[in-house]
Amino acid sequence: MSNRTYKPRRGRVTPRQAAALDIRDGLLIELGRTTFSLTDEWPGLPVILEIGFGTGAATAVMAGDQPQFGLLAVDVHTPGIGDLLHRIRTIGLTNVRIMEADALEVLRTMIPERSLAGIRTYFPDPWPKARHHKRRLVTAEHASLIGSRTASGGTWDLATDWAPYADQMIDVLSKHPMWEGGAVDRPSDRPVTRYEQTALDQGREVTDLRYFRAIR
Ligand SMILES: C[S@@+](CC[C@H](N)C(=O)[O-])C[C@H]1O[C@@H](n2cnc3c(N)ncnc32)[C@H](O)[C@@H]1O
């Protein structure tokens, strides 16, 4: 699959991450072929899907600050899955579930139509080379898939440190019939991750965007 939105990275799994990955307590959900009931996981809670959480540093803080949401956090990178599992067990969070999978596959096969209250995509891989732009997560096709699974009025929050990618996001989403919104001030509840701090240290500007699922 040459159009994967992520770089295959091996990454050493530390003993702490391995121990976290070994525990079977239902926090790690397997990729399946059928939709799973988000409302069974968290009766009554609106659900947010985070695509690409890295080490989950921001995910865990935001989930702790926002117990009114269930958070389904999806990434493909095994060490980071171990990190987030460790974080949520240490804090004792009950409103996070994790999947080790391609989030686009999860959206296609497991998320019911119009069921999500929100999507978060913080610092998706920038794919700076022109020949790799087709691998970016924010394309019209993916915006349609994400839009089809998001409830009317639901939000899509994005951040990027790559100015040309911010331009692409705005270009794609401003033309897309399912989405309305644009650039916003940095949300005060989004913590700075190590990834973002490196970008800031290297002098790159961060753009935050917020879109709403159109009511149609
Ligand atoms: C540049 S990192 C940013 C991580 C984190 N959001 C942060 O701010 O530190 C992008 C992450 O997205 C993940 N990713 C990329 N495409 C993905 C996909 N289709 N499904 C799930 N995760 C994906 C990568 O594995 C990586 O962990």
Supply the CATH number for residue 54's domain.
3.40.50.150
Neighbours of 146 (CB within 10 A): 27
Atom of ligand 1 nearest to the CA of 159: 8
Domain count, the chain: 1
Q: Which atom of ligand 1 is nearest to the CA of 104?
A: 19
Q: Cβ(104) to ligand 1 under 6 A?
A: yes
165 lines ligand 1 (CB under 6 A): no
Write out the residue range of the structural domain in which residue 61 sits.
29-213
| The pLDDT of residue 95 | 96
Average pLDDT of the chain is 95
Residue 10 within any structural domain of the chain: no
Measured between alpha carbons, how far apart are the two ends of the chain, in Å? Answer: 33
Segment 118-143 mean pLDDT: 97
> Is pLDDT larger for residue 35 or for residue 140?
140
Ligand 1 pocket check for 54: Cβ under 6 Å: yes
CB 18 within 8 A of CB 74: no
Residue 52 has pLDDT above 60, yes or no: yes
Name the residue of 5, 106, 119 to mutate for ligand 1: max ligand atoms within 8 A of Cβ: 5
Predicted local distance difference test score (pLDDT) of residue 3? 87
Q: What is the DSSP code string of 67-135? A: TTSEEEEEES-HHHHHHHHHHHHHHT-SSEEEEES-HHHHHHHHSPTT-EEEEEEES-----SGGGGGG
Query: Which residue owns the Cα nearest ligand 1 atom 27?
Result: 54
Q: Indicate whether 60 pLDDT > 90.
A: yes
Residue 143 included in any domain: yes
Asked whether residue 147 is domain-assigned, the answer is yes
Q: Which of 76, 139, 162, 193 has most ligand 1 atoms within 8 Å of its beta carbon, as the pocket-test mutant?
A: 76
Residue 9 falls inside a structural domain: no
pLDDT computed for residue 43 by the predictor = 86
Q: What is the 3-state secondary structure (H, E, C) of 164-208?
A: HHHHHHHHHHHHCCCEEEEEECCCCCCCCCHHHHHHHHCCCCCEE
Whether the CB of 50 sits within 6 Å of ligand 1: no
Give pLDDT, residue 1. Answer: 52
Tens of pLDDT, residue by residue over 13-46, are 999 999 999 999 999 999 886 777 777 888 889 9
Q: What is residue 19's predicted lDDT score, i.e. its pLDDT?
A: 98
Q: With 70 as the cut, is the pLDDT of residue 112 above it?
A: yes
Residue 19 belongs to some domain of the structure: no
Mean pLDDT (whole number) for 169-193:
98
Q: Which residues are known to be catalytic?
A: 125
Please state the pTM of the whole predicted model.
Answer: 0.97
Neighbouring residues of 57: CB distance < 8 A, sequence distance ≥ 6: 83, 87, 191, 193, 194
Pocket test for ligand 1, best of 48, 53, 197, 201 (most atoms within 8 A of CB): 53
The reply to whether 21 falls in a domain is no
Q: Is residue 82 part of a domain?
A: yes
Mean pLDDT of the region 129-141: 97
Give yes or no for residue 62 CB within 6 A of ligand 1.
no
- Is the CB of 79 inside a 6 Å radius of any atom of ligand 1? no
Q: Could you tell me if residue 23 is inside a domain?
A: no
- The answer to whether 98 and 84 have CB atoms below 8 angstroms apart is yes
